[in-house]
Structure 1
Amino acid sequence: MQEKINNIINKNYKLLLFLICSCFFLLSTSYKILNPEFIDYLSPGDMETHWLGWLYFKDTPFFQFPLLANYSYGLENWSGTLIHTDSLPLMALIFRPFSAYLPNLFQYFGIWIYLCFLLQGFSSFYLMNLLLKDKVKSLLASCFFIIAPIFLWRLWGHYSLLAQGVILIAFYLYFLNDTKTRTWGYLLLFSALINAYLTGMIMLIFACYLLKINLSFKEFVIKFFKMILLLIGFMWVLGVFQTGTSFMAGGYGLYRMNINALINPTGDHWSTLLPELPSADYDHDGFAFLGVGVIILFILSASLFIKNRKHLTIKKEYVILLCLGLFCFIFALSDNITLGSKIIFSYETPYIFKVFTKTFRSSARFIWIPHYLIIICGLYLLNKYTSKKGFVIIALSLLLLQIYDSRKAFVHFAMKHSSPTEYWSGAVVNEKGLVRTKPLLENQPFKNKIWNKVTSKYNKFTYVIPKNRPGDYFEIAFLAARNKIQINFGYFARYSKKNEKIEKERLVYEINKGIFDKNAAYFFWNEELFNIAKLTKGEYDLIDEIDGYKILLPGFYDKK
């Protein structure tokens, strides 16, 4: 009977894995998000600006340079690329050729989430099958990766960071004995179209691979820097360096990991069995709770390892990964070491490392590498010191325990993605006090009929004075995007402060002189400049406060 079951699994493992990934996807989200016109789950939060980036990009020229330029979202002094709005460039490039045939408010993030579940499942299966050499065990092992809290946590909204399966692919390539350098290149370029943090982590694993294969120092340097140059060239084509936008920014030491992160079920969703431990402000990006099942797995496997350590030969490739895990753990802690709610130690990062700390300012995310190494190590050691039957019984028991322990998280995220209106009911969406009580399109503040004329008469919205992510930016930007109107503001992960200053000085000068763009509708949050505009406006200009927005509409009234 057991042999028959094994044969069925061995013949149909791909189908079974597909079904497992699909079941966990539905358990954690909702089939609704696969509908490209279902948009309510994208707001409020960072996802709304990721989606806005796509709404503007779909109307850009098909052939352009840089490839991901998004001029209408930010205009001269603010515009970046889809990378700067974290709008999943990979998916945008896939759907861009068909944009003329897509719904105006098309979203691809639901499809992406499903693909990430499949990526997580299949990449972890092939990785573990390489190590365990048993499809039944590997199928069971892959489930630990699919429901890893560190993976599911990204359902909060940074959907590009759900593609953690590419890290598992990198580990797979690491353990292969004959991986070609160009295969690493393909993986790195692929990850660059998703998120730079994934690229950075894969680059570290690639460096470890080069150490593993016993290259000379000269060969190591040549291969490593060839890959760096390839990435820089690719990012230049994509437009990462457009308009002088720096890929470096502050935040290192703030967006850090807490020492207790691996055992701390932060929030009230991640563990039924363990209590939440104290944490410090801004530790959220360092969420790395292993789950009760994996914690027990690691303790059990470590005990078996210690018991049998005399009979074990530790290979060089494992030592390299151990060093990688320790390095990433320390980097994730940053230069402000926190334990619980207190900073227990701080130090000054040497200047030579600033290029890394400013590029990867949210260093907490690098805990993903140690986190996945713990799962891999636990499963590998369990397999080494137990029989197949013992492995299956123990792993299955711990998996069920992990699912039970995380059940609140499944319910929480399922509600967020299936019933977002109910989920966000009563939540304040922006600083104007807009509350989410209705679907996204019905929850907009523009009630006056005058907006119909505004969106038909003007092709630009000018925010006075623009800044990165003004509090009410989404509602104005969303109105503009629905009507293909350019905007001089937005929300950008990176932007040029020099260009910000230029735009501010230009607007202040023009408003004081009464120089208004006849094609632009002006939205004021600066009270002083609004009062000046009342004095400098033209005879046929409208200046008023409508639906809570202070606006100036040049040439709104017809000349007599």
Structure 2
Amino acid sequence: MINTHYKKNAFIIPLLIAICVFFYVCGPRCLNPSNIAWLFDGDSAQHYLGWAFFRNSPWSFPLGLNPDWGLENSSSIIYADALPVFSIFFKCLNFLLPEVFQFYGLWFLTCFILQACFSWRLLSIFKLGTTLKFFGTFFFTFCPVIFMRLGGHQSLTAHFLILWCFCLYYANLEKKNAVEWMICLSLTVACHPYFSVMCLSVFGAFICKEFFKKRDVQNISNLFLLIILCLVSIVLTAWQIGLFVGTAAPSSDTGYGFYKFNLNGFLNPLGSSFFLRTQAHGGGDYEGFAYLGVGLLFLIFFIVVLDSVNSFRQTKIFIKKSLPLCIFLFFLLLLAISNNISFGNWQLKLYSVKAGSFLQTFRSTGRFIWPVWYFLILYAFVLLQKALNNHLISYKVTVIMLTSFMLFQLVDFHEFIHDNVRKVLMNNNSLQWGDQSKDWDFLRKKYSQIRLLNNPGLGYHKWRELSLIAANHRFKTNVFYLARSDSKILSERKKLDESLLKSGNFDQKTIYVLSDEDVNKIKQEVTTSQLIIKLDGFNLLLPIGL
């Protein structure tokens, strides 16, 4: 019988593994809450700015609304990928925080610690020895699919949620575990909705397992109650973080079938390996990155060969014990592959998807391969323990082999970590955000918001710089960069802006940012009370002057 308990005093081993992996991969500089230099590039700027506006905006209901970033185009922190679970928590402590504060380095450390702890717990359920739990926890924590997200998709590093669900799947239906399911599934929404799909799949497998194990009235009632409680928890969490705010479509209605898992994904390093070359792949296959690493490939190959001697007896036992989970993981695999089956450069498109559908909402389906990736590691270590128990391999050989595989894994990813991950996270040059004049503080005494006229939305190339100016000096602004945008609102606002430029009836509490073309249009019509200046590279119209 599977043991669902693990020793509390064993926390120190996974903690040490997590801390070592974190500092090896990330380095210490991202832990500095005042260092935002490494958050300038790509989506990282969006995540930080979403938090920067949210922390200084008044509390709202739902809690996750973020009205100051985007104004009429605004939505909530979830659509800025600003990690709602941390954003809401630290907003409660905002009165204690410095003027510049980022929590993403702390979030990474938290993720690594929880990744290691749930790995240890999962392996403990299968009664693995301490040595195998040590190596297993390392391979779960030294995780290349997480490394690929550290430089730009901070909220997608919460892979511990997948392992937590695995722990709960292999446990029995108890009151304590029911509460954990509610908390875990709620956190998936508060971290990133992609995790909700993955973890709900594991939850569905758990419900099926428990249903077929015992189909009496009491058990069915308990399962039904658990489903209701979990769904209510998810909906309430989604409501409070602002997931249901607005009806805007995704910023891009393409991607499904492009951001997919390639069938060579477990073997294709996409430039991350020291030993293996990048294989043929599609342009969006990086979203389905699932390279196992040379160390894990050797381990899984060894386990498969070892079990084949015994007609795959232990594999069959493990799959039978995990059958509902295997079925649901197979469906996640199909989602990851998408409608565009590909192996290297070869592709076969099976069907088309309408714009605005569920599959276009979760268009980066390649990410759904992650639970399958972790299941392969679990399979390898469970069967290795069985081989030890059955004396098919000695303890000494096992330790030597796992140590070798661990070293291969470290060497395989060392160069990629050094040149790509650490290079970003160890950056402390904040000058790339641009200098900000002290005159903004003076302007803040007269004006409360900054409005970009004829705002193109996501196409505005200086959204980072202007948004940071607004956030640092507590202006509201219509400039934004969000996962959801409404083209109708932008189109209607452009008509109002054109009328505004013709009438000259500018709001006296608003600083207007003009293009060079707009400046030439109105400079002859500016009244004596109005003033056009250039500040930090922006043309500003001040309705009531300085």
The verdict on how the C-alpha distance between 1:80 and 1:125 changes in structure 2, with shifts beyond 3 A counting, is: same
- Whether 1:96 aligns to 2:103 is no
Residue identity matched to 2:287: D
Aligned 8 A contact 1:336 1:343 in 2: no
Q: Residues 12-42 of structure 1: CA distance to partner in whole angstroms, max 9, x if unpaired? A: 6322322221111111112222221122111
TM-score (norm 2): 0.88
Aligned 8 A contact 2:151 2:421 in 1: no
- Please give the residue correspondences for 1:32-51 in structure 2 after superposition, counting only pairs within 5 Å: 32-51=29-48
Aligned 8 A contact 2:33 2:103 in 1: yes
Corresponding residue number in structure 2 for 1:168: 163
Corresponding residue number in structure 2 for 1:553: 542
Aligned 8 A contact 2:79 2:483 in 1: yes
Aligned 8 A contact 2:75 2:242 in 1: yes
Higher mean C-alpha deviation, range 258-267 or range 528-537: 528-537
Corresponding residue number in structure 2 for 1:234: 237
Corresponding residue number in structure 1 for 2:65: 69
- Please give the residue correspondences for 1:433-452 in structure 2 after superposition, counting only pairs within 5 Å: 439-441=429-431, 443-444=433-434, 446=436, 451=440
Distance 2:327 2:356 in 1: 21
Aligned residues: 524
Aligned 8 A contact 2:532 2:539 in 1: yes
Corresponding residue number in structure 2 for 1:515: 505
Higher mean C-alpha deviation, range 131-140 or range 51-60: 131-140
What SS class does the counterpart of residue 149 from structure 2 fall into? helix
- Whether 1:199 aligns to 2:205 is no
The verdict on how the C-alpha distance between 1:452 and 1:190 changes in structure 2, with shifts beyond 3 A counting, is: closer
Identity of aligned residues (%): 28
Alignment gaps of 5+ in structure 1: 1-8, 422-438
- Whether 1:20 aligns to 2:20 is no
- Please give the residue correspondences for 1:448-487 in structure 2 after superposition, counting only pairs within 5 Å: 451=440, 453-466=442-455, 467-468=457-458, 470-487=460-477
Pick the aligned partner of 1:420 from 417, 422, 427. Answer: 427
Higher mean C-alpha deviation, range 105-114 or range 494-503: 494-503
Corresponding residue number in structure 1 for 2:3: none
- Please give the residue correspondences for 1:90-489 in structure 2 after superposition, counting only pairs within 5 Å: 90-179=85-174, 180-214=177-211, 224=227, 227-245=230-248, 250=253, 251-267=255-271, 270-309=272-311, 311-312=313-314, 313-314=316-317, 316-340=320-344, 342=345, 344-349=347-352, 355-386=357-388, 387=393, 389=395, 390-413=397-420, 415-417=422-424, 419-420=426-427, 439-441=429-431, 443-444=433-434, 446=436, 451=440, 453-466=442-455, 467-468=457-458, 470-489=460-479
Deviation at 1:85, TM superposition (A): 0.7
Distance 1:123 1:492 in 2: 32
Distance 2:364 2:258 in 1: 8
Distance 1:126 1:202 in 2: 17
Q: Residues 103-142 of structure 1: CA distance to partner in whole angstroms, max 9, x if unpaired? A: 1111111111111110111111111111243233112210
Pick the aligned partner of 2:53 from 49, 53, 56. Answer: 56
Distance 1:248 1:33 in 2: 29
Deviation at 1:232, TM superposition (A): 2.3
- Whether 1:540 aligns to 2:529 is yes
Residue identity matched to 1:263: L
Corresponding residue number in structure 2 for 1:433: none
The verdict on how the C-alpha distance between 1:512 and 1:183 changes in structure 2, with shifts beyond 3 A counting, is: same
Q: Residues 206-261 of structure 1: CA distance to partner in whole angstroms, max 9, x if unpaired? A: 00111111257997788546643442233122221223345796232222222222
Aligned 8 A contact 1:148 1:291 in 2: no
What SS class does the counterpart of residue 375 from structure 1 fall into? helix
Distance 2:164 2:229 in 1: 21
Distance 2:329 2:8 in 1: 35
Distance 1:279 1:403 in 2: 24
Aligned 8 A contact 1:80 1:245 in 2: no
Alignment gaps of 5+ in structure 2: 1-5
Aligned 8 A contact 1:508 1:529 in 2: no
Q: Residues 61-101 of structure 1: CA distance to partner in whole angstroms, max 9, x if unpaired? A: 34x201111111111x2111111111111112221122122
Distance 1:248 1:489 in 2: 15
Deviation at 1:490, TM superposition (A): 1.1
What SS class does the counterpart of residue 344 from structure 1 fall into? strand
Higher mean C-alpha deviation, range 318-327 or range 274-283: 318-327
TM-score (norm 1): 0.86
Distance 1:399 1:377 in 2: 17
Q: Residues 140-181 of structure 1: CA distance to partner in whole angstroms, max 9, x if unpaired? A: 210001112112211122111111011000001001123444
Aligned 8 A contact 2:206 2:325 in 1: no
The verdict on how the C-alpha distance between 1:146 and 1:14 changes in structure 2, with shifts beyond 3 A counting, is: same
The verdict on how the C-alpha distance between 1:160 and 1:508 changes in structure 2, with shifts beyond 3 A counting, is: same
- Whether 1:524 aligns to 2:524 is no
Aligned 8 A contact 1:256 1:364 in 2: yes
The verdict on how the C-alpha distance between 1:533 and 1:240 changes in structure 2, with shifts beyond 3 A counting, is: farther
What SS class does the counterpart of residue 323 from structure 2 fall into? helix
The verdict on how the C-alpha distance between 1:339 and 1:441 changes in structure 2, with shifts beyond 3 A counting, is: same
Q: CA RMSD in A?
A: 2.8
Q: Residues 324-349 of structure 1: CA distance to partner in whole angstroms, max 9, x if unpaired? A: 23222221122223333x36111325
Distance 1:167 1:46 in 2: 23
The verdict on how the C-alpha distance between 1:359 and 1:230 changes in structure 2, with shifts beyond 3 A counting, is: farther
Aligned 8 A contact 2:14 2:117 in 1: yes
Deviation at 1:457, TM superposition (A): 3.2
Distance 1:226 1:106 in 2: 36
Higher mean C-alpha deviation, range 277-286 or range 169-178: 277-286
Deviation at 1:377, TM superposition (A): 1.1
Residue identity matched to 2:541: L
The verdict on how the C-alpha distance between 1:226 and 1:376 changes in structure 2, with shifts beyond 3 A counting, is: same
Residue identity matched to 2:331: F
The verdict on how the C-alpha distance between 1:536 and 1:258 changes in structure 2, with shifts beyond 3 A counting, is: farther
Deviation at 1:484, TM superposition (A): 0.5
The verdict on how the C-alpha distance between 1:160 and 1:520 changes in structure 2, with shifts beyond 3 A counting, is: same
